[in-house]
Amino acid sequence: QSVLTQPPSVSGAPGQRVTISCTGSNSNIGAGYSAHWYQQLPGTAPKLLIYGNTNRPSGVPDRFSGSKSGTSASLAITGLQAEDEADYYCQSYDSSLSWVFGGGTKLTVL
């Protein structure tokens, strides 16, 4: 059982908007530690998608955006494309456990 809770799966049609939630607690996201998001394509290493709750590294399309509220964070993907089909993970820092990940969410593009 992961410290950060994500839905196991989400889906959407091309062009639609999907969101993925990440629920933490007062010892991680709620304590002020940033939430970060990763995209993992099959057979590859995770790639940093969003850092510091809302920031995109260079090269990440602005279709991807992040937000944080209280003990939770969210990843939104607009204008869904077939190439977005992947696993998505949230990550934060926990005052007791150090680095922690969500269980991952599989995005299916219908």
Site residues, other proteins (CB under 8 A)? 2, 33-34, 36, 38, 44-48, 51-52, 57, 89, 91-93, 97-104
What is the closest distance, in whole angstroms, from the C-beta atom of residue 79 to other proteins in the complex?
Answer: 25
The least distance separating other proteins from the CB of residue 5, rounded to whole angstroms, comes to 12
Please identify, using beta-carbon distances, which residue of 82 and 96 lies nearer to other proteins. 96
Q: In terms of C-beta density within 10 A (0-12 exposed, 13-18 middle, 19 or more buried), how is residue 57 classed?
A: exposed
Question: What are the φ and ψ backbone dihedral angles of 92, each rounded to 5 degrees?
Answer: -150, -170
For 88, what's the count of Cα atoms within 13 Å in the CB-facing half-sphere? 31
Q: Which residue's CB is nearer to other proteins, number 4 or number 80?
A: 4
